[in-house]
Structure 1
Amino acid sequence: MSAGAIAFNLVQGFENECVRLPAASLLPVKALRHNVKASTKYQQIAASIHEVGLVEPPVVCRTGDGLYLILDGHIRIEILKDMGVSEVECLVSTDDEAFTYNKRISKLSAVQEHNMVVRAIARGVPEQKLAKALSINLSSLRRRTNLLQGICAEAVSLLKDKQCPMAVFEILKKMRPLRQIEAAELLVNANNYSVSYVSAILAGTPQTQLVAGDKAKKIKGVTPEAMARMERELAKLQEAITSIQDTYGREHLQLTVVKAYVARLLGNARVVRYLTQHRPSFLQEFEAIAEATSTLVQAKSPTKSGEIA
């Protein structure tokens, strides 16, 4: 090995081939909620499996005694058991850490789901079969198909991996392209993709930036005076966000360094003992900083629909 070269020890995460395992040998690592079978997600996954089969094999790991722990796919395996399937094709993981595996799984965004539906239809999958697999009606399927019509490419790029309800895109269609981009940036910067927030952005959008610019903007319960005030306040908010963006990266880095430093301090038993005796309120705040997983305020996740096993 040449000087300065670094050796990497790569460990294979999964066995080379999927294996068929007896359903009775698959042990859950968590209990499903008692009402899970009544949920929309469960019904959609069940419809998908009944219609097109198991698309993604469950992930399991060996226990060494002929049994396997389910790392991912509890609902899929429960559905297969209800169908009377005696063997399940599984992907065998070499790591038994379910949290690590699940942490890297992301749900389909509305844009990703739209792309999936469009590709399936382009490949000749009948709309009726696709709707049945997703456990939705034809009108809902066509709503997904037409989701991005009238949305500019830049706005789509900003929101392509965000968990936005479909109604968000339908509201964006009422705006002109440049305003769509501004609205998408506001959603991303606020980490808020709710319908109520994008509706507020629409209410604060000047008439000239709407697609139907020749029609008076009407919002139930909002007077023209209040609408004009919202437009001015939203313009000020955009200016403030733009100014914050200039320093955000540097300040975020500083906060990350501070968090690491505080965590290191709390690793010193003498420091913790002193704070416990003399500054207990400081200790609580330091612990909260050290345990924080993000410097961002987490917005409430929107309801997800159309998820597939």
Structure 2
Amino acid sequence: MAGTHDLLEPPRRLARTLASDPSFGPAQRAWLDALPDHTHECLARWDLTPERVQLPGGRASLMVLVRTADGTPAALKLAPPGTTTALEHAALAHWNGLGAVRPLRVDAEAGALLLERLHGGISLRSLAEPKAQLEAAATVQRLWVPPAEGHPFPTVAEHTAVLAGRLREWAGQPWAADARAVTEEALELREALTAEVPEPPVLLHGEYEEGTVLAGERAPWLAVGPRPLAGERAYDLAWLVRDRLDTLMASPGAAAAARRRVARLADSLEVDADRLRGWTLFRTAEAGVHALAAGLPRRGELLLEFAGLL
């Protein structure tokens, strides 16, 4: 594979996103610096032939389009240390291709996951919004299956307890003073939502949005990139409410449009509209303050403005 080293350089978006994360530290920097060599090692170990790095690429992982020893097209995903490769593989294996990309191999310790090849440049965001939302709703329903006995997935309550603790810490900072009313409401809603869960837990994608549903060959649309949890379905729909945020916030009547999205998704997928609104507000407020902490004021303010509309 001589001569391919330069072709395996991390995309600029990946390096920029990792560097802007408040948790970015020496381990992540060392991983990023060693990523081309690490990729070569994985390619050799699994007898894969690289074609190209997918650009612009993911925000938290490297994706290399490859061919297996028998010529089958596939995609090699490499994630930094401390990420959820093992959980992602467990969820994908449990779904076994139903509504989601099919996993082929995994080395969780190395953060390596070999996946079936999808059309990485074609997501639901390539469709008009009404059609995209319909397809997103149809696909996510296939993912909502009971988790296996003794599953490894964190619950929504456990995961959001970590997010809430971080949000409280950030909300006390001077730079977050303008967001205090929204963050206080978000934290109160999270407490109420986790105090009583109205349905048996299902396996959730965790980061479900139009951009994480790609065109495939064996099915029109398949989900990718889960950060799986076990919990109620309303939690999984929050990012669909928030999708195409720039366009929504630039349109007249943004608040009414946001409420219509909540009502439409709740009705079509038979979830409680108030719980969907609550989870969307909490998750959006947390993401907004996280963006401020990462030095992304425009993104943070837009998310917090949207949370305020809810």
With normalisation by structure 2, the TM-score equals 0.23
**Looking at both structures, which has the greater relative contact order when contacts are Cα pairs under 8 Å and sequence separation is at least 6?**
1
| Rg larger for | 1
Q: Which structure: greater strand fraction?
A: 2
With normalisation by structure 1, the TM-score equals 0.23
